[in-house]
Structure 1
Amino acid sequence: MTDLAYLPATEALRLFRSRELSPVELMTAVIERAEAVEAQVNALTERTFEDALTQAAEAERAYRDGGSPRPLEGLPVAAKDEQPIAGRLATDGSLAYPDQVAEETHPVLERVLAAGGIIHARTTTPEFCCAAFTHSRLWGLTRNPWNLDYSPGGSSGGSGAALASGTATLATGSDIGGSIRLPAAATGTVGYKPPYGRVPAMPPFNLDHYCHDGPMARTVADCALLQNVIVGPHPGDVVSLRPAVRIPDRLGDVVGLRVAYAPNLGDWEIEPDVAANTRAVADALAAAGAIVEEVEVGLCRADVMRAAFIHFGTIFGPMVANAAAEHGDRLTRYALTFAAESRAAAERDGFLAGLELEATIYAVIGALLDRYDVLICPTAGAPALRAGEDYVDAKLVVNGVELGHYMEYSLTTVFNVASRCPVLNVPSGRASNGVPTGVQIVGRSYDDATVFRVGAAVERVRPWALRPETL
């Protein structure tokens, strides 16, 4: 076996059970990889490598003694730093709270640990997770392992970069406007936004229907493995759904499945590389036996942006604004700008207008998914954002067009509005700059299994590289 740092989690578990591989060997390979590449990538905020090796040795004994190893026994899992661990720092990526310590552990991480996963590192985010890139004054600049001139996306950018750079086997993420799917697309990894309530979260953001915690991995099967561990009701989250609904081990083929292929959701700007790769995924699914039909969705990105910023201005924005009121000089310009822009949108239009607009957006998606089993579309109109740019003064240009707000490059926020739809990002190819591109597989409300079924089919007929050639 070579390249253990990129070994799929499902394969590692098989080798652990057959005792052809030790959890200590895998953890050692991941740690050595981190020590080799972290100076370039900067995806990890906290490393607990010594403790991780001790836990790996305990996992080795669990396999050797012939007991019943837990679902993630011995696997290195990187945790998004936003998700707290009791007794550990909980900074929100901000200089406003550099010494703040968490009192509780996030339900997702509780379940990872209970399943035998080893949290050997935590991963970078933008400040307060309020951006689609990953850099902060606290942690510095995180770079994309496929091309260091680019960002890995955000806000789960550190998790995507860790997976792509081989410094984690699995990773956790969260998504309020694309924060799992955008990094997954930019780093050539798999990321899942579960439908609202499927995976438990912490108050008050568990009550925000835009918010989702979910798994990130390098393969579809690995993503399903982690999703099946973190899913299900939790006593601390009133919206967490019961019973737990898990992804089946056998997903079947896509023969006869009706797939709506949307090159665009409406008037988004789409770079030619992204468009070509999305088309290639549609063609591959057709070759695999799916009934693929090109559709026009007809949404307006200005409506989606307006709805999103009204919503952000009622919950997320005020949280950032509260920190700004007390520690404004310590915050990044992009966090201050986000707080101001979202507050202005909410004050101008009001929460009711936002809900009415969200209803018109979902009406289009709901009608489409009533006719098709899934919708596929680009995850973003451009492969990635430039590393270190905050887009406060500079404008983002996509397909030769200057955008009013950089987040208009994303096609993900539509499905935070349509929050009950499960969405899986899988790689669709590579752009000319070497950065991966992604495609979203969108399912009917709460139909988790079908998006994984389609994602697994894409992986079979159009497999992707797991490791960057240049890092």
Structure 2
Amino acid sequence: MTDLPYLPATEALRLFRSRELSPVELMTAVIERAEAVEPQVNALSERIFEEALLQAKQAERAYRDGSPRPLEGLPVAAKDEQPVAGRPARSGSLAYADHVAEVTHPVVERIVAAGGIIHARTTTPEFCCAAFTHSKLWGLTRNPWNPDYSPGGSSGGSGAALASGTAALATGSDIGGSIRIPAANTGTVGYKPPYGRVPVMPPFNLDHYCHEGSMARTVADCALLQNVIAGPHPHDVVSLRPAVQIPDRLGNVTGLRIAYAPNLGDWEIEPDIAANTRAVADALREAGATVDEVKVGLRRADVMRATFTHFGAIFGPSVGQVAAEHGDTLTRYALDFATYSRAVSEETGGFLAGLELEAAIYAPIGELLDRYDALICPTTGAPGLRAGEEYVDTKLTVNGVELDHYMEYVLTTVFNIASRCPVLNVPSGRASNGVPTGVQIVGRSYDDATVFHIGAAVERVRPWAFRPDAGDSRRGRVPAQPDCDLTIAR
């Protein structure tokens, strides 16, 4: 096996169990890969390699003794936002450069308890408040598919680590698209579970935009990690009982009715992304689903107002508090986020007015999902943002149209508003600049399993490349991978 860093996690577990592969061999390969590519990609905020190798040896013994746990021996990269007791807790900010965590995030606790090895932590923008990943603290994280572009954000380090082969699985969090945007930009799979499915630390557990989720290179791998991190937690009052598990076998969409929305309303969509989204719809028809093209009819101006009104009530003030004390150390984009969200919230009329906007935005989605089992639509309107650009003074142009705010280029925040809907991003192809594109698979409220079935069907009919250097084309579909078992390893 010459491509160990890109081995699917479910396949690695099978090989561990059969004793054809050692966790030490996989961890060594992943570490060597990181040492080779990290100088350019810069996806890892912290490397814990020596400890990880010791834990891999312990995992090797667990397989020898016949007592492996669900993630035993897998290298898992944790988003730096998720604290680990005794390790730095810096939020990508110079203001917190010396902070050390006193508690461990429930997601990390569960991964470790399941035998996963946190061998690295991944970069984010400052305070996770941007859809790109660079900061004064960690520098610039680049997209492995095209280093002139960002991997997206705020879970950009996790997406870049998966795409560059420096982790088998990764964690993310999503308050406006922060899992789905980097998953789309890096050709990976990312899941925003419905609100309450995965525990979140207070006080943001009470923010219905906030979700912790799983990221991977395959649908089955993403489900594997999701099944470990889901479930109630004593410190999160909104965490749901009972824990819901994604089924073992995935991909049957025969008889499902799927709504295909080329656009959610008046977003600007680049031709490459439109074509790739249409191809996913065609693939689902080939897989046995009934797919109807629909119009949703939302206005992105309304979605932006609702989103930033919400941010202005909770997320923006949390950044603003730090800015009041450490403003000169913060990035311009973090300062702009705090002031912009506050201004929009004041203009709109505050949190209550924002909730009224949110209700109006969900109405057509709810009606659509009453008639269809799921909805598919683009994740973003353009294939990525330029690496290092803050989009404070620079306006983003999509499809020849200059946007008022760069976040208008994503179609993700709609489903933070519709927070109870599960949403899975899967790759849809690549754009002419070499950057991957993605589609969102949106399920009915709390129907996690259906979006994974649909994602697995897309993966089977329209497979994607894992390695940025494996494709033979910079446009559209990438060469098919060998057939993969879509059964989640236990």
Q: TM-score range by the shorter chain?
A: over 0.9
Task: Give the Cα separation in 1 of the matches to 2:365 and 2:104.
Answer: 35
Match of 2:463 in 1: 463
Match of 1:375 in 2: 375
Match of 2:476 in 1: none
Task: Give the Cα separation in 2 of the matches to 1:121 and 1:280.
Answer: 36
Match of 1:61 in 2: 61
Task: Give the Cα separation in 1 of the matches to 2:236 and 2:36.
Answer: 40
Matches within 5 A, 1:326-365: 326-348=325-347, 349-365=349-365
Task: Give the Cα separation in 1 of the matches to 2:434 and 2:113.
Answer: 38
1:211 and 2:210 are equivalent in the alignment: yes
Task: Give the Cα separation in 1 of the matches to 2:410 and 2:177.
Answer: 8
CA contact (8 A) 2:251 2:455 kept: no
Match of 2:249 in 1: 250
Match of 1:449 in 2: 449
Q: In structure 2, what residue type is equivalent to 1:458?
A: V
Q: Secondary structure at the match of 2:73?
A: coil
Match of 1:224 in 2: 223
Matches within 5 A, 1:118-197: 118-197=117-196
Match of 1:384 in 2: 384
Q: Secondary structure at the match of 2:429?
A: strand
CA offsets, 1:218-237, max 9 Å, x none?
00000000000000000000
| TM-fit CA distance, 1:470 | 7.5
Q: In structure 2, what residue type is equivalent to 1:425?
A: N
| TM-fit CA distance, 1:287 | 1.1
Matches within 5 A, 1:17-32: 17-32=17-32
Task: Give the Cα separation in 1 of the matches to 2:10 and 2:2.
Answer: 16
CA contact (8 A) 2:43 2:122 kept: yes
| TM-fit CA distance, 1:346 | 1.7
Q: In structure 2, what residue type is equivalent to 1:380?
A: T
Matches within 5 A, 1:186-335: 186-335=185-334
Q: Secondary structure at the match of 2:313?
A: coil
CA contact (8 A) 1:189 1:219 kept: yes
Match of 1:83 in 2: 82
CA contact (8 A) 2:231 2:240 kept: yes
Task: Give the Cα separation in 1 of the matches to 2:22 and 2:68.
Answer: 13
Q: Secondary structure at the match of 2:94?
A: coil
Match of 1:7 in 2: 7
Task: Give the Cα separation in 2 of the matches to 1:97 and 1:430.
Answer: 37
| TM-fit CA distance, 1:255 | 1.2
Q: In structure 2, what residue type is equivalent to 1:146?
A: W
Match of 1:417 in 2: 417
Q: Secondary structure at the match of 2:53?
A: helix
CA contact (8 A) 1:146 1:470 kept: no
| TM-fit CA distance, 1:251 | 2.8
Provide runs of 4+ in structure 1 moved above 6 Å. none
TM-score, scaled relative to structure 1? 0.99
TM-score, scaled relative to structure 2? 0.95
RMSD: 0.8
Task: Give the Cα separation in 1 of the matches to 2:36 and 2:202.
Answer: 38
CA contact (8 A) 1:73 1:116 kept: yes
CA offsets, 1:102-148, max 9 Å, x none?
11100000000000000000000000000000000000000000000
Q: Secondary structure at the match of 1:51?
A: helix
Task: Give the Cα separation in 2 of the matches to 1:326 and 1:371.
Answer: 51
CA offsets, 1:363-415, max 9 Å, x none?
11100000000000000000100000000000000001000000000000000
Q: Secondary structure at the match of 2:371?
A: coil
Task: Give the Cα separation in 2 of the matches to 1:132 and 1:140.
Answer: 15
Determine what percentage of the aligned residue pairs are the same residue.
85
CA contact (8 A) 2:133 2:157 kept: yes
Match of 1:429 in 2: 429
Q: Secondary structure at the match of 2:95?
A: coil
CA offsets, 1:70-109, max 9 Å, x none?
0000000000000000111101100011000111100000
Task: Give the Cα separation in 2 of the matches to 1:315 and 1:305.
Answer: 16
CA contact (8 A) 2:172 2:212 kept: yes
Task: Give the Cα separation in 1 of the matches to 2:73 and 2:268.
Answer: 43
Stretches of structure 1 lacking an aligned partner (at least 5 in a row):
none
Q: Secondary structure at the match of 1:370?
A: helix
| TM-fit CA distance, 1:252 | 4.8
- Bigger drift between 282-291 and 156-165 goes to 282-291
- Aligned positions, number: 470
CA contact (8 A) 2:251 2:454 kept: no
| TM-fit CA distance, 1:344 | 1.1
Q: Secondary structure at the match of 1:438?
A: strand
Q: In structure 1, what residue type is equivalent to 2:390?
A: D
| TM-fit CA distance, 1:449 | 0.1
Task: Give the Cα separation in 2 of the matches to 1:113 and 1:14.
Answer: 19
| TM-fit CA distance, 1:268 | 0.1
Q: Secondary structure at the match of 1:150?
A: coil
Task: Give the Cα separation in 1 of the matches to 2:408 and 2:108.
Answer: 32
CA contact (8 A) 2:7 2:168 kept: yes
- Bigger drift between 342-351 and 43-52 goes to 342-351
Q: In structure 2, what residue type is equivalent to 1:192?
A: Y
Match of 1:399 in 2: 399
Match of 2:105 in 1: 106
| TM-fit CA distance, 1:347 | 2.0
Q: Secondary structure at the match of 1:69?
A: coil
Match of 2:478 in 1: none
CA offsets, 1:36-73, max 9 Å, x none?
0000000000001011000000000110122x210000
Q: In structure 1, what residue type is equivalent to 2:49?
A: F
CA contact (8 A) 1:376 1:442 kept: yes
